[in-house]
């Protein structure tokens, strides 16, 4: 077995429980967000139907689909750092694919929940809780998978992702972390993707040669309106991700 294959196998073994936990949190958070969205949508649907029956139903359905896509887009950005396109047309297609995938995946769980109702009250509650956990994990996995399919393919981000990478083992979770030179902070540390701990790495030569990577800039997010200080390593071809709402925005309009 090659060294790279061995490292990949070790990495998968180490962070698999973390991934499963994140799938569960993603799926559970998605269920809560969509539940709230459906409540708001129901009131909106009544108004739309009053305005125009058939047209109102159609608009209501489109709003729900885009809301589902946007909710999962936010969660994918928070849990997996996956940035999806936020145009209405992209959200519509993204939300529709997600609703179909989650609907099909829900069928076996609905059957099992129906069967669990025939058990004793205590066993029924336990069975429903177990099914909820597994259902959330499946939903989180599907949410991430669909978000990855719809990930923003802007050429600047594609070029940034194709940069030379380096490998380091995290001293905290022992995952083999692959990073780019631009991910190194001013103090010579990087943050592990799997456990979020920061640790020291040997700064690549190309990073040391580019002194402008060691400077920082302050930008205002056009979405949430909050200011943040960004290191040069966080800026990819004029774009950064807001520290507060995870929105990716262009910094060139702010003098960068």
Q: How far apart are CA 19 and CA 22, in angstroms?
A: 5
- Give the pLDDT of residue 132: 93
pLDDT tens per residue across all 256 residues of the chain: 444 444 444 444 446 788 889 899 999 999 999 898 888 888 877 877 777 667 777 888 888 899 999 999 889 888 887 777 778 888 888 899 999 999 999 999 999 988 988 888 899 899 999 999 999 999 999 998 888 887 654 434 444 444 456 777 788 887 776 776 666 776 778 777 677 788 887 655 444 444 344 456 778 888 888 888 887 767 776 788 888 888 888 887 776 5
What does DSSP assign to residue 66? Answer: H
Q: How far apart are CA 57 and CA 127, in angstroms?
A: 37
Q: How far apart are CA 120 and CA 132, in angstroms?
A: 18
Q: Which residues pair with 190 in a beta bridge?
A: 199
10 Å CB burial of residue 49 (0-12, 13-18, 19+) is: middle
Q: How far apart are CA 173 and CA 195, in angstroms?
A: 7
Q: How far apart are CA 11 and CA 6, in angstroms?
A: 9
pLDDT digits (tens, 9 = 90+) for 217-254: 778 888 888 888 887 767 776 788 888 888 888 887 77
CA 232 from chain centre, in angstroms, equals 23
List phi, psi (to 5°) of 166.
-130, 155
List phi, psi (to 5°) of 216.
-130, 160
Q: Where are the alpha helices (DSSP H) in 81-120?
A: 88-116
198: helix, strand or coil: strand
pTM tops 0.85, yes or no: no
């Amino acid at each position: 077995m090659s060294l790279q294959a061995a490292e990949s196998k070790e990495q998968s073994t180490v962070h698999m429980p973390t991934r499963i936990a994140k799938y569960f949190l993603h799926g559970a958070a998605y269920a809560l967000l969509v539940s709230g969205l459906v409540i708001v949508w129901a009131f909106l649907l009544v108004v739309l139907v009053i305005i125009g029956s058939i047209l109102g139903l159609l608009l209501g359905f489109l709003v729900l689909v885009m809301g589902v896509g946007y909710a999962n887009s936010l969660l994918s950005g928070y849990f997996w750092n996956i940035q999806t396109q936020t145009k209405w047309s992209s959200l519509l297609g993204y939300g529709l694919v997600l609703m179909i995938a989650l609907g099909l995946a829900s069928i076996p769980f609905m059957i099992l929940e129906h069967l669990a109702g025939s058990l004793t009250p205590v066993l029924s509650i336990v069975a429903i809780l177990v099914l909820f956990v597994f259902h959330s994990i499946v939903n989180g996995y599907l949410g991430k998978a669909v978000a990855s399919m719809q990930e923003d393919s802007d050429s600047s981000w594609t070029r940034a992702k194709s940069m030379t990478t380096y490998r380091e083992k995290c001293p905290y979770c022992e995952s083999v972390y692959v990073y780019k030179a631009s991910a190194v902070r001013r103090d010579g540390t990087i943050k592990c993707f799997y456990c979020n701990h920061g640790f020291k790495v040997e700064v690549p030569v190309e990073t040391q040669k580019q002194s402008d990577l060691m400077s920082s800039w302050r930008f205002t997010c056009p979405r949430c309106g909050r200011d943040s200080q960004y290191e040069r390593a966080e800026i990819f071809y004029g774009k950064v991700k807001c520290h507060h709402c995870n929105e990716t925005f262009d910094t060139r309009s702010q003098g960068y």
